[in-house]
Structure 1
């Protein structure tokens, strides 16, 4: 298929790769952007996780802890402009949706959209505000968590928030600890707590990318997989919470930092963002 200049430019915005590299990758992927990104990564290029085609580039994150901080809900409500994100109607709707979610301990986004709100449903109230404001509005992130203790963090821009589920808290100051972990997760965007939380499909995909990278570097065929396994371990170290260097003290990992806090465990986390 014909690859247009706008296609190439779009992939450049998505990845930060060079123009000719993007053109070749799109040609090889027959115009499929996700496959083209994989092609670039297999070539050993670092690509950004940013996507230029998201419709809701602004919004706000709302969070609530309840039941003695043993339960929590986080919600990302997206819109198109910062002006709307600060609009009183938008903020009121976000808080109203969050209140419904908390009152009913709603497990997922689909269930939340169907919940009654005022004289309609959550979904119909979002549609009403869209009609009033004239911008796309949608729930772009949602999470409900339970643990011994939960803590939350919302970044100063209001567009990134984190819910952290903690176990074995003991006498630790879980609110301060949770805020530190929330800042870490907001900044570093890990994909899981540790390697056991990463799907085998993703590990296999990273292995295949590593094999192609090693092959492109001219490494012998009989050691490609061994080299690729090293790439996979590096990927897991960089992208799982416990293995990441602590942003407030990069001499220790998060795992080591938690040991210093008396062995507190991170059960899970939910990172909600709008506009990324």
Structure 2
């Protein structure tokens, strides 16, 4: 019997399986959706849909830079258990996906999903992997950072990764970049400097500062000034260039970088953690 594209798409929406798999299953089941679902389940395809509401709090992060280290890429592939996350095949798959994304100039997770992978798409390959390992698997993050030099860092547990873009980089600044990446991993700054802090966050800090001062019995005419003082402290503790360098608290990150190479600074960064 003839199977319509609408029927194939309906089964795909139900199961998350690939278009060709859905078409074959419906053909084999003579158009019976329940039988088609059972056929897909036997092939492991139904696992993706049945685990769609499961949380992926484990996984691995992989990074890569281009040959001249001016562009860095970070991808997180997540799953449900630490046992799977540490599996060599799972980590290898994450690296393969990142290599493919870089090779094909993908700029988003959606673009990676659409890339060809053997005879499938990446999205279909991930569904196949889900069926194979019996856990929900997904690309949770894909980040790109550019700069005069880009340095990457992955924490020892494989679940926290950082990309740092450096500006005014003269000579080899890899060691300095690694120090800054480890700073970002440890201190989790909200922005490079105060100009990069979201306006909503700034306003919230001001309002919190006012309420704290008011609760302490400070006069109303002093609240604004006190709140701005608290905001400056927030900037110092939570923006990267103003933070004290964890390896030498006598310097800020800005001072440390300038000491490594005059004018060296951070243009952007990305910090991704799993779990």
Q: Could you say which residue in structure 2 is the equivalent of 1:69?
A: 69
Q: Could you say which residue in structure 1 is the equivalent of 2:228?
A: 229
1:104 deviates by: 2.0
Query: Do structure 1's residue 207 and structure 2's residue 206 form an aligned pair?
Result: yes
Q: Could you say which residue in structure 2 is the equivalent of 1:93?
A: 93
1:203 deviates by: 0.7
Aligned 8 A contact 1:141 1:273 in 2: no
Q: Could you say which residue in structure 2 is the equivalent of 1:108?
A: 108
Q: Could you say which residue in structure 2 is the equivalent of 1:242?
A: 241
Q: Could you say which residue in structure 2 is the equivalent of 1:15?
A: none
Aligned 8 A contact 1:237 1:244 in 2: yes
Deviations 1:65-104 (A, max 9, x none): 1131111101122222110101233112201210111112
Bigger radius of gyration: 2
Structure 1's 132 and 189: CA in aligned 2 closer, same or farther, altered over 3 A? same
Q: Could you say which residue in structure 1 is the equivalent of 2:125?
A: 125
Aligned partner of residue 236 in structure 2, secondary structure: helix
Aligned 8 A contact 1:77 1:274 in 2: no
Q: Could you say which residue in structure 1 is the equivalent of 2:186?
A: 187
Structure 1's 214 and 122: CA in aligned 2 closer, same or farther, altered over 3 A? farther
What aligned pairs does 1:249-268 form with structure 2 within 5 A after superposition? 249-262=248-261, 263-268=263-268
**Higher RCO by CA contacts (8 Å cutoff, separation 6 or greater):** 1
1:168 deviates by: 1.0
Aligned 8 A contact 1:105 1:144 in 2: no
Aligned partner of residue 77 in structure 2, secondary structure: strand
1:144 deviates by: 0.9
The whole-number CA distance in structure 2 between the counterparts of 1:151 and 1:112 is 23
The whole-number CA distance in structure 2 between the counterparts of 1:90 and 1:133 is 9
Q: Could you say which residue in structure 2 is the equivalent of 1:216?
A: 215
Structure 1's 227 and 247: CA in aligned 2 closer, same or farther, altered over 3 A? same
State the TM-score, normalizing by the size of structure 2. Answer: 0.75
Identify the range of structure 1 (255-264 vs 207-216) with the bigger mean alpha-carbon deviation.
207-216
State the TM-score, normalizing by the size of structure 1. Answer: 0.75
Identify the range of structure 1 (240-249 vs 132-141) with the bigger mean alpha-carbon deviation.
132-141
The whole-number CA distance in structure 2 between the counterparts of 1:249 and 1:63 is 27
Structure 1's 217 and 130: CA in aligned 2 closer, same or farther, altered over 3 A? farther
Deviations 1:164-188 (A, max 9, x none): 11121112x3211111111111111
The whole-number CA distance in structure 1 between the counterparts of 2:255 and 2:106 is 34
Number of equivalences: 221
Q: Could you say which residue in structure 2 is the equivalent of 1:198?
A: 197
Aligned 8 A contact 1:168 1:265 in 2: yes
1:140 deviates by: 2.4
The whole-number CA distance in structure 1 between the counterparts of 2:73 and 2:201 is 27
The whole-number CA distance in structure 1 between the counterparts of 2:216 and 2:134 is 51
Structure 1's 213 and 134: CA in aligned 2 closer, same or farther, altered over 3 A? farther
The whole-number CA distance in structure 2 between the counterparts of 1:116 and 1:229 is 53
1:116 deviates by: 2.5
Structure 1's 78 and 261: CA in aligned 2 closer, same or farther, altered over 3 A? same
